[in-house]
Amino acid sequence: MDVDVKINGDKESLADGTTIEDILKARDVRPEMVAVEVNGELIQKGEYPSRILIKGDQMDFLFYMAGGRLV
Amino acid sequence: MDETFKLKRSQADTMIDQALEGDPREICGMIGGNGAVASKIFPTANIDESDITYQMDPKEQFAVMRTLREEKLELIGIYHSHPETDASPSMTDIKLAFYPDAYYLIISLKKKDDPVIRAFKIVDGNVSETGLEVRAD
């Protein structure tokens, strides 16, 4: 059964049991490059493989914004 | 395609004032708008609190992204300062440029009384300088 969620504001239907890690992998996004929130709660990276999205969840992810003249 | 990034004088001044107030530490922020035209500047904290690096707080990034979505704007720019060096992307800037669609603006305070802003696109490690047009308000 599909699960209706929102990812970065867009509606999506996911297969039951889809994890945060699955979603990032499907988008070729390396977990270490992004921060993830589900329903406004920042998710620890260690939870990405086990956190399953459920109906109505809103997941947002974004790439870190960083840099500087270090090198 | 016109690659010139456009912002108002007051928006440029907001970034320059933030850079001068933050000096000698690097400052950073996000720019919302459409295409290459800036609508709103979002100064953010540099959680590194460093003279040579910046990193935005992800919580703050998420908050800005939500505001952009609500206001039907896009993330079109990311800016930071180089307090002592030129307004050119460093290797660190290039390595950590994850937004190929965004313009990267760098404010140099090398000459404190004459700050310089330059705009770049950074795509897959390739840097190209774009035009930058500062319009009167």
Percent of chain A with pLDDT over 70: 97
Q: Is pLDDT above 60 for B69?
A: yes
Across the interface, whether the CB atoms of A70 and B99 are under 8 A apart is answered no
* Among candidate residues B74, B82, B72, the one with its CA nearest the CA of residue B19: B82
Q: Is pLDDT above 70 for B83?
A: yes
For B137, the token pair is 């308000």
For domain B5-135, give the fold: Cytidine Deaminase; domain 2 (3.40.140)
What residues does each domain of chain B span? 5-135
Across the interface, whether the CB atoms of A71 and B91 are under 8 A apart is answered yes
Q: Is pLDDT above 80 for A1?
A: no
User: What b/e string do you get for B3-17 counting C-beta neighbours within 10 Å, with b at 16 or more?
Assistant: eebbbbeebbebbbe
- Residues A11, A55: contact at Cβ < 8 Å? no
Please state the rounded mean pLDDT for residues B34-58: 96
Q: Is pLDDT above 90 for B127?
A: yes
**Partners of B30 in beta bridges:** B42, B78
Across the interface, whether the CB atoms of A70 and B92 are under 8 A apart is answered yes
Q: Cα(A38)–Cα(B55) distance, rounded to whole angstroms? A: 22
Q: Is pLDDT above 80 for B51?
A: yes
For β-strands B5-8 and B132-135, DSSP reports them as parallel
User: What b/e string do you get for B68-83 counting C-beta neighbours within 10 Å, with b at 16 or more?
Assistant: beeeebbbbbbbbbbb
3-state secondary structure chain A: CEEEEEECCEEEEEECCCEHHHHHHHCCCCHHHEEEEECCEEECHHHCCCCECCCCCEEEEEECCEECCCC
Identify the pLDDT of residue A69.
Answer: 78
Identify the pLDDT of residue A71.
Answer: 56
Which of the 8 DSSP states describes residue B67? H
Identify the pLDDT of residue B24.
Answer: 96
- The count of residues in chain A is 71
Q: Is pLDDT above 70 for B1?
A: no
Please state the rounded mean pLDDT for residues B84-94: 95
Mapped onto helix, strand or coil, the DSSP state of residue B49 is coil
- The C-alpha of B133 sits at a distance from chain A's nearest C-alpha, in angstroms, of 23
Percent of chain B with pLDDT over 70: 99
Q: Cα(B90)–Cα(B103) distance, rounded to whole angstroms? A: 15
Identify the pLDDT of residue B107.
Answer: 97
Give the C-alpha distances (Å, rounded to integers) separating B76 from A38, B5, B105: 24, 9, 10
Identify the pLDDT of residue A68.
Answer: 85
Q: Domains of chain A, with CATH numbers? A: 2-63 (3.10.20.30)
> Tell me: the pLDDT tens digits for A17-64?
999 999 999 999 999 999 999 999 999 999 999 999 999 999 999 999
Identify the pLDDT of residue B25.
Answer: 97
List, in order, residues 6 or more apart from A12 with CB less than 8 Å away: A4, A5, A6
| Residue B12 banded pLDDT, cuts 50, 70, 90 | very high
Q: Cα(B80)–Cα(B13) distance, rounded to whole angstroms? A: 13
Across the interface, whether the CB atoms of B62 and A64 are under 8 A apart is answered no
- Residues A66, B55: contact at Cβ < 8 Å? yes
Chain B residue numbers with beta carbons less than 8 Å from the beta carbon of A67 are 53-54, 80, 89-90, 92-93, 95-97
